[in-house]
Structure 1
Amino acid sequence: MAAPMIPPAHAPAFLAAHGWGDAQILPLAGDASFRRYFRVIGTGRQAVLMDAPPPHEDPRPFVAVAEWLRAHGLTAPAILARDLERGMLLIEDFGDARLRETADAAPDTEARHYAGVTDLLIHLHRQPAMPGLRVHALEQWLGEVSLFSDWYCPTLELDVDRDGFFAAWEQVLAPVSADGFPPVTVLRDYHAENIMLVPERDGIAHYGLLDFQDALIGHPAYDLASVLEDARRDVSPAVEAAMLDRYIEKTGANEAFRTAYWVLAAQRNTRILGVFVRLWKRDGKDGYRKFQPRMWGLLERDLAHPALVPVRQWFDANVPPEKRAAAWQ
């Protein structure tokens, strides 16, 4: 079940030990994990308290990736205080201006903001991949799509051809894994709710990054697909096409990158369909069900790409229309 938004009992002592003893602690957000966030308001200053309780969570990856990103010219929160044994971090507060709400409120800014976050990825991909991260490649991609067969299909009482499912995915993913693009740091949850607008900064630093503790080393198309095929907000197809073109033109990538984009978008969206069912059935977080129609819309568009014919044929044979978006509406 989702954890209640009550600060842990040891939070006041942690804050007092680091000079924030007079601060208010207000609920800010939970997420799909066990992590919770609180806004800490002191006299003339504010910060964010991250509660990442062990044994479910470990804040060390967040600290390591944040410090690496900051060292490479990107805007991740500064770590103001830490208690790693209890899973508590006090981090820089980027405010409330998320990309999602900003772009929704002013649609005429969408293309400009998505150009900025595309350029951020281009900058990130020009850096050497962060050392020590897990690899995200063919074996992992196949493991991730199993969330669809393991959670989505049983929940909707679908009797599917599991062997054919994995065979189809391997057929379309294997060429992407061998397409020759150098591996890069993959933030993995790069989307409009994890990108903040930091107005006092310029250029790519204008976009503050959150929720990157699961970073991996993988294909450069993955995070671009993540932000342009967003599970939580509709990115206009024209902006998606323009940003894919922008990335290819600015990096000199060949057309194999475009194929990788559609294949990895389909892989990611299939995984998320399963993840959202697991969050509902296992963790009691039923709010994620509302995103399923959007996920199906994205996946069905991805499956129209010629590189995905084997996977599209499997879905056509195994998942009827009434078990897709219609099941969630």
Structure 2
Amino acid sequence: MTQTQASLPTREDQRATFLARAGHADTVLIALPADASTRRYFRLEGAGLLLMDSPPHSEPIGPFVHIARQLQELGLSAPALLEVDEAAGLALIEDFGHDTYTRLLAAGYSQAGLYHLAVDTLVALHRATPPADLAAYDGDRLAGEYALFIDWYVPLLIGKEAAQSLRDEFLALFADACRDVAQRREALVLRDFHVDNLMLLQGREGVAACGLLDFQDALVGAAAYDLMSLLEDARRDVPEALREKLLSLYLLQRPALDALRFLEDYRRLAAQRHAKVLGIFVRLAGRDGKHGYLAHLPRTLGLFVRALQAQAFAPLRQWLDRHVPGWRDELPATTLATLRETPYRLVQGLPHGHV
């Protein structure tokens, strides 16, 4: 290590300086469990605050700050921002506590009540005019995500070289199916709207009782996306009867919508998201060593297979049947064992992609 390198402040030093400037030099930090990103969160003991550490080189904090303020202006509950240093990628934000939807559902809390509140929150969000200063969830961005299926998941079935040779055809067929929905500019799309990122906030009324997290990647696109993300959860089974009831609840509150078009958008985006998530879960396990996501592959595959039953995906479905044998079947135990034990990037020689 050179003298210059040794004199550079560590990330821990940067956090300490930021906290001292905010008046919390002596507050004890409690690290929270990490997720699929490089962001980290620390609870400030006894302060009702979280320290958000979002490395500027990989996940700039600016988008989180920008979207949080927009959500708050709509009367929705994004965490309050108490102190922000965008250049350092650090922020002191409101601590919503422990009551994530995931934790409450595991404890037996009313499933219908929580999901009803989440749907009402989306209705409130979607009634607002989407911001003009955000990028669109367009065809290129959709394609960059469903490409993860051919780049990371399909090589497990037919090998890297065969998958690479099929890539252009796969992308073209998927693009044809998503061409119409890629034109939508209807709503602010939070893009990760599911039970892990929703919280129940005590003492707040109406949709303000639904705390929103992990929205920094928001774009402007189809209103159906976030509802689909909630109801077709890769991490949790949602009973079909409840899913249908919540779809109806949403549409009843938005009578001006073209319901048939909305449901068609929902189906096409479901296929897009599940393709993306299958690739991401494999990448997280094989490239990043986060093997817990492999447990969700069977559920996600089932959702993907179901989504591809839509008429719009008939050409892609038939193409997969011809070129990717076993794409409908769960991965063999031997393949999963390889993912858990051997760095996939070395086995497959695939690039480090990023969503």
Same fold? TM cut 0.5:
yes
- Show structure 1 runs of 4+ deviating over 6 A: none
Q: 1:7, CA displacement in angstroms? A: 7.4
Q: 1:323, CA displacement in angstroms? A: 7.1
Q: Which amino acid aligns with 1:18?
A: A
Match of 2:104 in 1: 102
**1:174-253 equivalence runs, <5 A:** 174-177=179-182, 182-252=185-255, 253=257
Answering whether residue 292 of structure 2 is matched by residue 270 of structure 1, we say no
Q: Which amino acid aligns with 1:260?
A: D
Q: Which amino acid aligns with 2:172?
A: A
Match of 2:177 in 1: 172
Match of 2:42 in 1: 38
Q: Which amino acid aligns with 2:126?
A: H
Match of 1:3 in 2: none
Paired-residue identity, %:
42
- 2:29 pairs, out of 25, 29, 32, with 25
The TM-score with structure 1 as length reference comes to 0.90
Q: Which amino acid aligns with 1:189?
A: D
Match of 2:148 in 1: 147
1:143-200 deviation line (CA, Å, top 9, x unaligned)? 221111112222444434333312321221123335xx65210001111000011011
Q: 1:118, CA displacement in angstroms? A: 0.9
Supply the distance in 1 between the matched residues of 2:87 and 2:327 (Cα, whole angstroms): 48
For the 8 Å contact 2:142–2:182, the answer to whether it is kept is no
Supply the distance in 1 between the matched residues of 2:12 and 2:158 (Cα, whole angstroms): 40
Answering whether residue 288 of structure 2 is matched by residue 283 of structure 1, we say yes
Q: 1:134, CA displacement in angstroms? A: 1.3
Match of 2:91 in 1: 89
Answering whether residue 50 of structure 2 is matched by residue 48 of structure 1, we say yes
Q: Which amino acid aligns with 1:101?
A: R
Match of 2:341 in 1: none
Supply the distance in 2 between the matched residues of 1:115 and 1:146 (Cα, whole angstroms): 33
Between 227-236 and 9-18, report the one with greater CA deviation.
9-18
Shift in alpha-carbon separation, 1:29–1:130, aligned structure 2, 3 A: farther
For the 8 Å contact 1:29–1:38, the answer to whether it is kept is no
Supply the distance in 2 between the matched residues of 1:311 and 1:103 (Cα, whole angstroms): 36
For the 8 Å contact 1:81–1:90, the answer to whether it is kept is yes
Q: 1:249, CA displacement in angstroms? A: 2.0
- 1:297 pairs, out of 302, 309, 316, with 302
Q: Which amino acid aligns with 1:199?
A: Q
Supply the distance in 2 between the matched residues of 1:84 and 1:287 (Cα, whole angstroms): 31
Q: 1:46, CA displacement in angstroms? A: 2.2
Q: Which amino acid aligns with 1:123?
A: A
Shift in alpha-carbon separation, 1:186–1:10, aligned structure 2, 3 A: same
Match of 2:343 in 1: none
**SS of residue in 1 equivalent to 2:295:** helix
Q: 1:315, CA displacement in angstroms? A: 2.9
**1:67-78 equivalence runs, <5 A:** 67-78=69-80
Q: What residue ranges of structure 2 are gaps of 5+ in the alignment?
A: 1-9, 337-355
Between 226-235 and 167-176, report the one with greater CA deviation.
167-176
Match of 2:340 in 1: none
**SS of residue in 1 equivalent to 2:181:** helix
For the 8 Å contact 2:153–2:282, the answer to whether it is kept is yes
1:25-70 deviation line (CA, Å, top 9, x unaligned)? 011121211101111114xx32111111121121111011101100
For the 8 Å contact 2:157–2:324, the answer to whether it is kept is no
**SS of residue in 1 equivalent to 2:236:** coil
**1:61-72 equivalence runs, <5 A:** 61-72=63-74
Q: 1:241, CA displacement in angstroms? A: 1.1
**SS of residue in 2 equivalent to 1:29:** coil
Match of 1:327 in 2: 332
For the 8 Å contact 1:171–1:310, the answer to whether it is kept is no
Supply the distance in 2 between the matched residues of 1:82 and 1:163 (Cα, whole angstroms): 43
1:281-300 deviation line (CA, Å, top 9, x unaligned)? 33332322222111101111
- 1:259 pairs, out of 258, 264, 287, with 264
Shift in alpha-carbon separation, 1:264–1:248, aligned structure 2, 3 A: same
The TM-score with structure 2 as length reference comes to 0.84
Shift in alpha-carbon separation, 1:12–1:155, aligned structure 2, 3 A: same
1:83-121 deviation line (CA, Å, top 9, x unaligned)? 2221111100000111112123326x1122111111111
Q: Which amino acid aligns with 1:318?
A: H
Q: Which amino acid aligns with 1:77?
A: P
Supply the distance in 2 between the matched residues of 1:26 and 1:137 (Cα, whole angstroms): 39
What value does the CA root-mean-square deviation take over the aligned residues?
A: 2.0
Aligned length: 319
